Amino acid sequence: MTTRCTAVPADAAQLTVLMRSLQEFAIAVALDASQARSFELALEEIFMNIVMHGSRPGIAPRVEVSLHRDAESVTMIVEDDGPQFDPLSLPPPDVTASLADRKVGGLGVFLVRKMMDSVSYARIAGRNQLRMSKRFDG
Amino acid sequence: MNLRIEATGNVTYVAPVGRLDFDAAPGFQEALERLLGGAGERSAAVIIDGTALEYVSSAGLRAFLLAARAAQRSGIAFALCALQPAVREVFELSGFSRIIPVHTDRASALAQTPPGRA
């Protein structure tokens, strides 16, 4: 099993650090391009949610991203010590709405749920933990 | 993110190069709004060529949504073509391919995009 872990403050500028780490992991475990893209999207959506909703004035949560690969799947766990927030509790967007009525809120999390095989949230020891897995089809 | 903008007759092709993430989305949106609204010379159709567009997140989708609305207000036809598979997947899962026409290549986009009234 291969594991990689990176921690950064919840600041938008730090996404490139996490992205680089994910891309290195993707190469190390030979993820195909389409799987790597799915994890990149999940990382951006979940991290930016924490940046926008998890910060209190003057205090940015610390975000830790760990990546694991075993024989069957790749798992990404995003943990932060910000206020309790379950992104999976957001109502799903209406993806059939017309151009005029279409809203973008909630779309990021919706895409993550669609692209991953499993997504689960837990609040553990004062931290939000979102676990996302996708079966390895290589 | 770089944009290659090419005006041919009354159709403008916009080819974004690279990743349309939260960081690139505001600049992309601004560039499209300049083409689709406001003053100055306008095209009858704006077609986004996705050949070199590698990645789109929800922030990028938001820019496309606002652009499509600006196009509608201005009476300019707006469509996408030649999306890479990962980007096409994002458009399909989000239902955006139902509100913005997506074509396989420039030729079919041109053939199936009725010029707007601008």
What's the domain range around A16? 2-135
Convert the pLDDT of each residue in B75-107 to its tens digit.
Answer: 999 999 999 999 999 999 999 999 999 999 999
Q: Is the dihedral of CA A38, A16, A23, A33 positive or negative?
A: positive
Indicate the number of domains in chain A.
Answer: 1
What's the domain range around B9? 2-107
Which chain B residue lies closest to A33 (C-alpha atoms)?
Answer: B86
CATH number at residue A6: 3.30.565.10
Q: B84 lies in a domain?
A: yes
Residue in B1, B22, B54 to test binding to A, most A beta-carbons within 10 Å: B22
CATH number at residue B101: 3.30.750.24
Strand partners, A123: A128
A115 to B93: CB separation less than 8 angstroms, yes or no = yes
A41 to B90: CB separation less than 8 angstroms, yes or no = yes
**Helix/strand/coil (H, E, C) string of B75-87?**
CCEEEEECCCHHH
Convert the pLDDT of each residue in A9-63 to its tens digit.
Answer: 999 999 999 999 999 999 999 999 989 999 999 999 999 999 988 877 878 899 9
Task: At B14, list the tokens.
Answer: 């916009």
Complex confidence, ipTM: 0.92
